Structure 1
Amino acid sequence: MSARRLIVAAATCIVVASAPLSAQTGNQSQGQRQGYWWYEVPKPKAEEKAEPDELTKPVIPPMAELATWTPPKIRKLIEAQRDYAATVLTVDAVADFWRLQDFARRKARAFAGVTQIAMLQHPELNSKSANPMVGDARSEMSAEKDAIRRSYLRAQANEFALVMFSRSSCGYCRVQWPIIERFQEEMGWQVTLLDLDKRPDLSARFGVEITPTTMLIRRGSQQRMIIATGVEAYPNLAQMAYQAVRLLRGDIRPEQFMTGPGEDAGFFDALGNGPVSATDPRALGGDLVDASIGGKP
């Protein structure tokens, strides 16, 4: 035997000897590759079952210290004491829980008291300045808002119109149409009734499936907006038309869509005291007044 053959035979013996027994027997029949250059991915260890929480009595600090805690920290203590008291069911444990509850109640009462003082000193933060609670004043406010809304909508009668989509089998449509006709009489707008059963192409064109659907359109343009789906009361319909016209004309931003007549720059105007979103151009121009947010220290 030549020297070369002896070297090859010796190398073969070394490789066979280094391979695990499992790679030479049963695993070979299963097609698994094992040995010095092959390995199996370690199997994940079984999760150890968490032992049940030990019963520990919460430590309740003196009230003087508790008064310096933040509300989230106080809430956690109250929850811990509640669970402890519900477990041991002793008079002392339950009493401690209600002592904590009493502290939280008095804390909330104190906050409410300081809030009333803050509302008196800063009336711009108080809704009563724009929404009186007295009955006669509320009636006067409603009449004033109705007059502003009616005047605005009548001035836009030549620029906007209402379209109501209906079906011959729609009973609700017969209820909504007289409300649309009342809007026409009071605001002087043109209104149109379109039957989707007779004109099925309109459903895809305007994206309308539900009837009745009331849509506000701007004449001579592609601008349109749905202002009611289903039966809507007349005051709500007039308010939605008012808001939609102002939005389409650019008189308000989307954030101000719920701003009612006479509420511009007031308590109920979302942008009355500065921008509230990162997309508002004013937010990038440094128009916010820090003092109006943080107040005095």
Structure 2
Amino acid sequence: MRKVVLILAVLFLTVISARADVNNYNPYQGWFWYKNPPKKEKNKDKNKEEKFTMKTYTYKQLWNMYPDKFQKLLKYALRQAVQNPTPQNVKQYLILQDIARRKAYAFSNVVGYVTQTNPNLSLYKDYPENSPGIRMRTGLMNYDVDKTLKSNRDEYALLFFYKPGCQYCEIQSQILRYLQDEDGWEIMPININQRYDVAARFNVKTVPEIILIHKGSPQWIPVAAGVIALNNIKRNIYRGIMYFEGKLNPKNWSIYQFQKNSGFDVDKYPVAPDMKFKIKVEEQ
């Protein structure tokens, strides 16, 4: 009788185990379904120190060392001094740091010499940093902008997109009124709630937005989105007009006419195009 009971108990446990396996079985797993078993992580000893090799250099070797290699060596010297701050290690690091400072100072001095003896490579003549020069540069910029806007106000116009209840639109409208009253520019306000077809034509998705149009052609360009100052509006109109007339391109987008052929003109080479350069490069 005991044997029969034992046999029935074993069969019962086997059935339960089989059901558990069936319930947990997933046919879409394994190598055939591109699911590799998780890789076993290798035991890494995080406390294991990296192996370093002690090397000796002379001051002249350090001074003439390639910058990338010297920078790496400078980091090693700093770590060595921090890990073991003996007078010798700290002094050694400070000497290397002094070399880096002297090399940077030497480079800066040579830059000053080259720009002084080669004015075509200097930007001081085109972008003065003293007060009289800054005033003159600002005056030339404003002269270019005002002259261009006044001479082209009959050929161009502005579309001002707005919608009722937009407080930003009201502020921008007041700013545009100065441009209309002082410079005589034609400004056409367009309510996007009523003229959504016009807004879609000019891809206007936000208000306030200003579009510059050329009356004699289908050319147009955005001037501003959101509230911007009058000076910025004028300068963006200026750039749009210069672009339509072929006097400005995207590479020279920020320059003015008085800056043509200067150090800011990317289409003007400072040296002969066939000038040869000798540069030491890393061998592949």
Which band: TM-score by shorter chain?
0.7 to 0.9
Aligned equivalents of 1:153 and 1:89: distance in 2?
68
Tell me the CA shift for residue 90 of structure 1.
3.7
Residue of 63, 66, 70 corresponding to 1:70? 66
What residue number does 1:118 align with?
114
* 1:130 counterpart = 2:126: yes
Corresponding residue pairs, total: 249
Partners of 1:58 and 1:81 within 8 A in 2: no
Partners of 2:144 and 2:256 within 8 A in 1: no
Residue of 94, 100, 104 corresponding to 1:104? 100
What residue number does 1:6 align with?
none
Aligned equivalents of 1:42 and 1:163: distance in 2?
62
* 1:251 counterpart = 2:253: no
Partners of 1:57 and 1:84 within 8 A in 2: no
TM-score scaled by length of structure 1: 0.72
* 1:167 counterpart = 2:163: yes
Tell me the CA shift for residue 263 of structure 1.
0.7
Aligned equivalents of 1:53 and 1:160: distance in 2?
72
Aligned equivalents of 1:264 and 1:53: distance in 2?
60
Residue of 145, 150, 156 corresponding to 2:146? 150
> Which structure 2 residues correspond to residues 166-185 of structure 1 after superposition, within 5 A?
166-185=162-181
* Stretches of structure 1 lacking an aligned partner (at least 5 in a row): 1-29, 33-40, 275-286
Aligned equivalents of 2:173 and 2:55: distance in 1?
67
Tell me the CA shift for residue 47 of structure 1.
5.6
Residue of 112, 137, 140 corresponding to 1:141? 137
Residue of 237, 257, 263 corresponding to 1:267? 263
Over residues 9-43 of structure 1, what are the superposed CA-to-partner deviations in whole Å (9 max), with x where a residue is unaligned?
xxxxxxxxxxxxxxxxxxxxx9x9xxxxxxxx997
Aligned equivalents of 1:112 and 1:227: distance in 2?
41
Aligned equivalents of 1:174 and 1:268: distance in 2?
37
* 1:195 counterpart = 2:191: yes
For CA contacts below 8 A with separation 6 or more, give which structure has more relative contact order: 2
Q: Any idea what SS the aligned residue of 1:172 has?
A: helix
Aligned equivalents of 1:105 and 1:265: distance in 2?
36
TM-score scaled by length of structure 2: 0.75
Tell me the CA shift for residue 186 of structure 1.
4.0
Aligned equivalents of 2:130 and 2:36: distance in 1?
75
* 1:241 counterpart = 2:237: yes
Over residues 127-182 of structure 1, what are the superposed CA-to-partner deviations in whole Å (9 max), with x where a residue is unaligned?
11112222123212322222222212222222221122222222222222222222
Aligned equivalents of 1:121 and 1:90: distance in 2?
47
Amino acid at match of 2:137: M
Amino acid at match of 1:258: S
What residue number does 2:84 align with?
88
Residue of 226, 233, 239 corresponding to 1:230? 226
Q: Any idea what SS the aligned residue of 2:124 has?
A: helix
Percent identity over the alignment is 26
Aligned equivalents of 2:107 and 2:122: distance in 1?
16
Tell me the CA shift for residue 82 of structure 1.
2.4
Q: Any idea what SS the aligned residue of 1:225 has?
A: strand
